[in-house]
Structure 1
Amino acid sequence: MKGHVQKQLKVAATYMRGGTSKGVFFRLEDLPENAKQAGQARDALLLRVIGSPDPYGKQIDGMGGATSSTSKTVIVSKSSRDDHDVDYLFGQVAIDKPFVDWSGNCGNLTAAVGAFAIHSGYISQQKLENTDIVTVRIWQANIKKTLVVRVPICNGEVLETGDFELDGVSFPAAEIEVDFIAPAEGDGSMFPTGNLIDDLWVPELGSFNATLINAGIPTIFIEAQALGYSGAELQDDINNSEEALHRLELIRAYGALKMGLINDISEAKSRQHTPKVAFVSKPKHYLSSSGKPVEAENVDLLVRAMSMGKLHHAMMGTAAVAIASAAAVPGTLVNLAAGGGQRNVITFGHPSGTLKVGAKARNTKQGWTVEQATMSRSARILMEGAVSVPFDTIK
């Protein structure tokens, strides 16, 4: 074939797992010049890297894994704030639409951001000396919040292997502790309506009791029983039912409207990442997706959460913060499902197993707020080098 052969554009990148998610990580300074700023060029680059939009829903021509947990991108830079180490920007890439959602955080990948910051040379050598745990302070640029990640190291390098097991991840790794500092939205109450339980009216479906919370990520909690569910459902039980997906998306859209996240119901389609919708129930025995039994006496409650229109295979890290925060406030649907009372630490069951999370809540003149939420994750580099995209991706 005659003519000029145009090579692809190569961009330095690292493919990482963080918690039960994985994504493509970039240093801001390694992006092409016109993608260093937010806008169309950046979105076009990330869409092509991940392989979206894909009408087949497989992301075959990109790095995405065709699920909400694996269609993610991260941009990290040296922090512009004196009291933080790095700035972290998260882009949730839609699978079948040309859309990158910048409205929220990924709590699972937060653990990987801490490790990536060390791998990428953003943490001073002095901070890495004479210690086996490095504390990385992260400014989460999407939601304007502080995250503190404690990363284990050995001889100045990130320790990735270990015996910490995380349900939803096949292999053990080194444990990374993540603190979400003041995860509630704004300076006031984390309950946007001022109520612990609201009456949420949804056309076609009627009214539901709902706890609407802004902590970690905006989340709508519904009782599983009100939806006709047991709370022990696995992915196929929900994701193979168009009727179930339609109902839950309607609840999400009208919940977003009641929370003030959108001004018109039509806007929900362009805000897929937030809010989340989750349903809760009291503890009961079930078999997780791996076949591992989850005993009722070993959990405080069960939670199933939707992410980008599908039931999540485990639990989003930011939704786990919302669960911990809601559980810490007596009288929410989450707290009542866990047995009520003051609860600073809970263990909940999800489709892949269980997760332990903690939160410190207090009631102020402005309403309930959470000082800090904590959970353990792990992270590992899967591949590093460069991703390739056609030159005409970003014009």
Structure 2
Amino acid sequence: MSNSIIQQIRNVARREWKRMLSRPIYLLSSVIAMLFCYLFFLTLMSEGLPEQLPIGIIDNDNSSLSRTLERNINASPQVKIVGKYASFTEARKDMQKGRIYAIIDIAPGFQADLLANRQPAIAYYVNDVYLVAGSLSYKDLTYISELISGFILQQSLQAKGITGEENLMPILQPVAIDTHQIANPQANYSVYLSNVLLPGVLQLLIIMFTIYSIGIEMKQNTTREWLSTGNESVLAALTGKVLPHTFLFTLLGLMGVFLLYEGMEFPMNGSIAWMSLAMFLFVMAHQAIGIFIIGLFPRLRDAISLGVFYGLLSFTYAGFTFPIEAMPRGAQIFAWFFPIRHYFRIYVNEALNGVDIRYSLIYFTGMVTFLILPFLVYIRLRKAIVHHDREETKNSRFNEQLQ
């Protein structure tokens, strides 16, 4: 690249910095928005798991055993009984209003039936509209019920003369379960969500920022000034325009990487350097997508609509909520068209599993491939920019003649 081209890019980049610093919308939609998301999401889930989830209980037995069950439930950090109801109808109304996430219905004669080995049932009603709250409530209630059942069985066995842990445990728990949660042993939802949710917000901002910064030049008829700064070179004008954005969003992205793995001490079993490189390619890939979209649809309104649709759809295809492998085979192919999917796979390999870098090379290559997109629409985008430049020139000459 010749010195003249480099100078043209510098001139355009300098102009773009001035535009960014002089217009609050640029800083608001980049720095302020991203810093707010970092602060909001990392403090929102600072406890790791939701605690003290409100539930209700219907105790139709009112026995010492049912009260023991209630005390054990309240002793659990995950759930808290906030309402005692006389009937299921009352409890159901509170669940429908969102005041409680689960209902425990203890039938009459619960203690008597249990002591007589008649296997009484405890009914759980869980509101799975709130997936996380419902799942955690059900898991905790089931675990406590199993403990109560084990306690009753233990008392029964001891009454029959079977004592000692070595004699009781093979009966109480014939198969010992040794659970190991790899990668996220604390089951921390902040680790689960923040590592992909925050890059997801970042990629949406990058796409919108790129589309807007180019589209607004054509909408406000400033392409003549833009091109003249780059000495009429569309390539220099485009490169100089996105370079400040690359620097800004890479800085914000790397801030997030170090905040998550150094500040919050999220699991990092691999190299933070590879994650930083992945973030840099992540930023550039989404800039390329933004240029591609505004190249396909030079009208700002249409381009922003498509950009928002693409950005929101990428959350589905990231694969961190619903596994890609469980999707229909035809739908699985589209996952390759979203850089956030490649970033997520690199995150799993590097941060969680700590595997060798060669297993992630295909995903690094996938993000690099997106850099081809601007060249596919370069001619179309160049025509749109030059067309606006000519229209501005005609209007300028016409105004001069009128004067």
Who wins on radius of gyration, i.e. which is larger?
Answer: 2
TM-score, normalization by structure 1: 0.25
> Which structure has more helix as a fraction of its residues?
2
TM-score, normalization by structure 2: 0.25
